[in-house]
């Protein structure tokens, strides 16, 4: 395979570099233009001098020029798609609570426990005198839940009265930065609107084609729910067949994630490929030219109907675009390289939406398919079995292994875990996914037929139940998922560089590439040894931000003691607030205690809200503490005020203890904390507000 056979690979590389240059370097258009002009001029001078040399072809010089032109094109497309470049963007507007904002929902709202969440596009606002001003931007909108809010849907136009503020940075160390995630979608602001501060102005304004697909999806979901009464089976069928994940509960997601089969719940290339194979078999091989072209047109229409029906996620768009190129090539009798087809689909998608490059699904889906395309044939050739069943099993393991090798570094970087039995879940999920997809299509077509419909429903339920049972069984195997991995960005880059060197050493049979890979792994190993040494000697005390719970941790070496004022019966709450931080510190052992428990360890003594941690003393003052004069007030370093105790004057606490610093926990009401902070300012008392500043860390 030569470079001439993969032109889109050569075009994709500079396009990606141009997009990354815009996203990572804040360059104004004039500066970028001058830099591009300088690079092009310098390139021309170099190329003109190289032209006279033997072996340097003029075609290559044009190729290098094209490289810089496409690089500039990537920067320009990213610049044009960035709404912040417009002066009317909300980020440049003065945010005033007296304004009324006109917005339109571009996403179906999702009901939460106490509010309805949706993504909306700003159309403009009314100032204090009632004049309408045009403005642009996207918001993450939360509306207090009631019967009226539940009737909202995509395309609705709302008038909001409330304060809009910029999305906040994470308030706990190493927590998921949703601000960056939303920024990838062009969302930089959010708002919470009470139920009496919004008004519906119009229903289903625009988005007609999307509304059509959503209505189709909702109709088919109702059919599934009617015939599949079991919650787990319905949830998996809705996700696998229609791309709807709203019915998936945390236990089901965790089982699929830990078994390495999470990809089956996200409609992706696997589903699109199986669907195209199934439809191609059904339509057969027409002999007439007109009939053959009609077949490809119908396949293309069905392909994109399925893509939009399932929500048009990054993985579906990638697969649909790639298969579209394949179908068009077959229709005109052109055989192209799969690498060129993949690059062409990525090129087209990134030209349409450059923000896809930063999305996890887009990155994982392309890496997985690249791993399968390149590594699967090589891995599959390692063993050959005469037995047909053994050959099929090894083929399934080879596919899983190829995909896992390609995505493992990125998966560990984002999710900090590695599914040990991914190969086993791959063997179980592959055949069941094909069977469920076939039965699902048959169900949607024949569900109204009395006997045939009932038979298909029974087979569909049994298939879903068996697949779920296998996934839960794999989850219960020992060491099903290894958690706690932590990679920095530069480590991720080095891992992929080492992987590339290993592949190049096999490709060219050159020991130099293998030595380079070994050097990279050796460097990473030495860094890890140094990191382990530092982690074994670390001592930390941290008070975390959590609205409904007081959580503090002490880390000694790679062991952690976690203390909370409530029972730790909500693992997701602890995981969200604490787990990422502990993984980054290399913690491998964690003990949980309640605030009223008696904790006696070599490093700390803690009992009834009072504790000595190394050379620091902590006193948690809550509503249950006895407020009375003490003959011998405690001397503490940190006084934690938690859960809204009755304090008229902050000086009253000195009857119980003398303190160096007051820590206001996030469990206090905002107006209470504001009053106490004002008193601290008046008395010149040192304090920290966790609700505003985030977690408070102390090195012991």
Same domain, 291 and 381: yes
How far apart (Å, rounded) are the C-alpha atoms in residues 356 and 20? 12
- Encode pLDDT of 260-315 as tens digits: 888 777 777 777 777 777 787 777 777 777 777 788 888 888 888 888 888 777 67
Q: How confident is the model at residue 207 (pLDDT cuts 50, 70, 90)?
A: low
pLDDT beyond 80 at 129: no
Mean pLDDT of 154-170: 86
Beta bridge partners, 102, equal 124, 159
Q: What percent of the chain has pLDDT over 90?
A: 21
Q: How confident is the model at residue 247 (pLDDT cuts 50, 70, 90)?
A: confident
Same domain, 550 and 627: yes
Residue with tokens 């408070």: 696
- Sign, CA dihedral 244-248-253-256, equals negative
Number of structural domains found in the chain = 5
What pLDDT is attached to residue 632? Answer: 72
The 10 Å Cβ neighbour count of residue 445 is 12
What pLDDT is attached to residue 389? Answer: 85
Q: How confident is the model at residue 695 (pLDDT cuts 50, 70, 90)?
A: very high
Alpha-carbon distances of 142 from 101, 195, 361, 546, 667, rounded to whole Å: 14, 10, 25, 19, 21
Same domain, 267 and 193: no
Mean pLDDT of 166-191: 88
DSSP for 240-253, please give it: HHH---TT--HHHH
Could you give the 3-state DSSP secondary structure of residue 407?
helix
How far apart (Å, rounded) are the C-alpha atoms in residues 642 and 97? 30
Residue pair 425/263 in contact (Cβ under 8 Å)? The answer is no
Alpha-carbon distances of 167 from 45, 123, 138, 192, 531, rounded to whole Å: 47, 19, 11, 12, 33
Would strands 157-161 and 198-202 be described as parallel, antiparallel, or unpaired?
antiparallel
Beta strands (DSSP E) in 327-453 are 417-419
Same domain, 557 and 521: no
Same domain, 547 and 653: yes
pLDDT beyond 80 at 527: yes
Q: Ranked by mean pLDDT, which of 159-163, 254-258, 547-551, 673-677 comes out on top?
A: 673-677
Q: How confident is the model at residue 422 (pLDDT cuts 50, 70, 90)?
A: confident
How far apart (Å, rounded) are the C-alpha atoms in residues 234 and 228? 5
How far apart (Å, rounded) are the C-alpha atoms in residues 103 and 125? 9
Contacts of 142 (CB under 8 A, 6+ apart): 112, 115, 116, 117, 190, 191, 192, 193
User: What's the chain's average pLDDT?
Assistant: 84
Beta bridge partners, 621, equal 641
pLDDT beyond 80 at 546: yes
pLDDT beyond 90 at 111: no
What pLDDT is attached to residue 54? Answer: 46
Alpha-carbon distances of 400 from 263, 375, 406, 638, rounded to whole Å: 11, 10, 10, 52
Q: How confident is the model at residue 629 (pLDDT cuts 50, 70, 90)?
A: very low
Could you give the 3-state DSSP secondary structure of residue 193?
strand
Q: How confident is the model at residue 358 (pLDDT cuts 50, 70, 90)?
A: confident
Same domain, 186 and 201: yes
How far apart (Å, rounded) are the C-alpha atoms in residues 181 and 244? 21
H/E/C letters for each residue in 267-335? CCHHHHHHHHHHHHHHHCCCCCHHHHHHHHHHHHHHHHHHHHHCCCCHHHHHHHHHHHHHHHHHHCCCC
What pLDDT is attached to residue 497? Answer: 93
Domain boundary among 54, 81, 108: 81
Higher pLDDT pick, 623 / 140: 140
DSSP 349: H
Higher pLDDT pick, 605 / 627: 605
Same domain, 194 and 229: no
Same domain, 528 and 558: no
CA atoms within 13 A on the CB side of 523: 13
Higher pLDDT pick, 274 / 668: 668
Residue pair 480/456 in contact (Cβ under 8 Å)? The answer is no
Domain boundary among 483, 499, 523: 483
Same domain, 262 and 323: yes
Same domain, 666 and 561: yes
Comparing 107-121, 363-377, 621-635, 666-680, the range with the smallest average pLDDT is: 621-635
pLDDT beyond 90 at 383: no
DSSP for 604-626, please give it: EEEETTEEEETTEEEEEE-TTS-
Q: How confident is the model at residue 183 (pLDDT cuts 50, 70, 90)?
A: confident
**CA nearest 120: which of 138, 134, 132?**
138
Mean pLDDT of 200-213: 76
- Encode pLDDT of 83-96 as tens digits: 888 888 888 887 77
Structural domain containing residue 479: 211-483
What pLDDT is attached to residue 628? Answer: 46
pLDDT beyond 80 at 73: yes
Contacts of 358 (CB under 8 A, 6+ apart): 23, 184
* Crossing angle for the helix pair 58-81 and 338-352, to the nearest 10 degrees: 40
pLDDT beyond 60 at 1: no
The 10 Å Cβ neighbour count of residue 689 is 20
Comparing 381-385, 571-575, 592-596, 653-657, the range with the smallest average pLDDT is: 571-575
Could you give the 3-state DSSP secondary structure of residue 632?
coil
Domain boundary among 176, 206, 236: 206
Alpha-carbon distances of 535 from 412, 538, 584, rounded to whole Å: 20, 5, 10
What pLDDT is attached to residue 582? Answer: 92
Same domain, 49 and 66: yes
CB pairs under 8 A, 24+ apart, for 444-453? 444/220, 444/223, 447/223, 447/227
Residue pair 670/676 in contact (Cβ under 8 Å)? The answer is no
How far apart (Å, rounded) are the C-alpha atoms in residues 161 and 151? 19
pLDDT beyond 80 at 242: yes
Higher pLDDT pick, 13 / 30: 13
pLDDT beyond 80 at 351: yes
Same domain, 334 and 289: yes
How far apart (Å, rounded) are the C-alpha atoms in residues 195 and 107? 19
């Amino acid at each position: 395979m030569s470079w001439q056979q993969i032109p889109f690979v050569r075009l994709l590389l500079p396009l990606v570099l141009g997009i990354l240059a815009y996203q990572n370097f804040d360059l104004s258009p004039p500066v970028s233009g001058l830099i591009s002009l300088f690079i092009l001029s310098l390139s021309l001078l170099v190329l003109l001098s190289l032209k006279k040399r033997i072996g340097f072809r003029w075609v290559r010089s044009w190729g290098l020029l094209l490289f810089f032109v496409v690089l500039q094109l990537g920067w320009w497309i990213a610049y044009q798609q960035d709404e912040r470049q417009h002066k009317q963007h909300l980020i440049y507007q003065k945010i005033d609570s007296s304004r009324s904002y006109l917005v339109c929902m571009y996403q179906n709202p999702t009901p939460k426990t106490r509010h309805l969440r949706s993504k909306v596009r700003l159309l403009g606002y009314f100032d204090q005198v009632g004049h309408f001003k045009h403005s642009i931007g996207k918001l993450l909108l939360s509306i207090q839940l009631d019967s009226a809010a539940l009737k909202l849907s995509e395309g609705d136009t709302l008038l909001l009265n409330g304060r809009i503020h910029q999305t906040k940075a994470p308030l706990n160390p190493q927590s998921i930065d949703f601000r960056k995630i939303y920024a990838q979608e062009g969302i930089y602001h959010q708002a919470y609107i009470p139920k009496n501060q919004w008004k519906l102005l119009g229903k289903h304004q625009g988005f007609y084609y999307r509304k059509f697909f959503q209505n189709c999806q909702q109709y088919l979901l109702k059919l599934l729910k009617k015939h599949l009464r079991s919650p787990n089976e319905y949830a998996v069928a809705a996700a696998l067949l229609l791309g709807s994940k709203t019915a998936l509960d945390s236990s089901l997601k965790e089982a699929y994630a830990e078994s390495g089969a999470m990809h089956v719940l996200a409609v992706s290339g696997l589903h699109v490929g199986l669907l195209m194979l199934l439809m191609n078999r059904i339509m057969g091989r027409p002999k007439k030219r007109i009939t053959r072209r009609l077949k490809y047109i119908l396949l293309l229409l069905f392909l994109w109907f399925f893509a939009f029906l399932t929500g048009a996620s990054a993985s579906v768009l990638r697969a649909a675009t790639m298969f579209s190129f394949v179908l068009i090539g077959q229709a005109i009798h052109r055989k192209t390289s799969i690498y060129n087809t993949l690059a062409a689909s990525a090129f087209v998608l990134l030209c349409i939406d450059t923000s896809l490059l930063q999305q996890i699904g887009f990155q994982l889906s392309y890496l997985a398919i690249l791993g399968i395309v390149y590594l699967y044939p090589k891995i599959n050739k390692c063993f050959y079995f005469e037995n047909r069943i053994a050959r099929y099993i090894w083929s399934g393991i080879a596919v899983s292994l190829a995909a896992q090798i390609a995505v493992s570094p990125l998966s560990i970087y984002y999710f900090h875990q590695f599914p040990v039995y991914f190969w086993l879940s791959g063997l179980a999920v592959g055949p069941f996914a094909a069977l469920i997809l076939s039965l699902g299509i048959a169900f949607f077509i024949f569900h109204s037929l009395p006997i045939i419909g009932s038979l298909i429903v029974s087979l569909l339920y049994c298939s879903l139940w068996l697949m779920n049972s296998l996934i839960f069984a794999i989850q219960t195997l020992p060491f099903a998922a290894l958690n706690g991995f932590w990679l920095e960005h530069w480590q991720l880059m080095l891992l992929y560089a080492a992987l590339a060197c290993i592949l190049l050493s096999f490709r060219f049979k050159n020991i130099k590439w293998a030595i380079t890979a070994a050097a990279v792994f050796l460097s990473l190993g030495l860094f890890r040894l140094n990191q382990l040494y530092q982690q074994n000697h670390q001592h930390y005390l941290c008070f975390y931000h959590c609205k409904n719970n007081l959580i503090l941790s002490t880390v000694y070496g790679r062991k952690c003691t976690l203390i909370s004022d409530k029972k730790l019966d909500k693992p997701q709450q602890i995981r969200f607030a604490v787990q990422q931080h502990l993984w980054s510190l290399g913690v491998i052992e964690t003990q949980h205690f309640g605030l009223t428990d008696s904790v006696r360890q070599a490093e700390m003594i803690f009992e009834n809200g009072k504790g000595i941690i190394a050379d620091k003393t902590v006193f948690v003052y809550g509503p249950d503490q006895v407020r009375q004069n003490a003959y011998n007030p405690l001397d503490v370093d940190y006084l934690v005020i938690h859960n809204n105790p009755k304090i008229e004057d902050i000086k009253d606490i000195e009857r119980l203890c003398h303190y160096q610093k007051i820590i206001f926990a996030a469990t206090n009401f905002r107006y209470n904390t504001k009053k106490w902070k004002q008193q601290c300012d008046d008395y010149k008392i040192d304090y920290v507000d966790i609700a505003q500043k985030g977690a408070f860390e102390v090195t012991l």
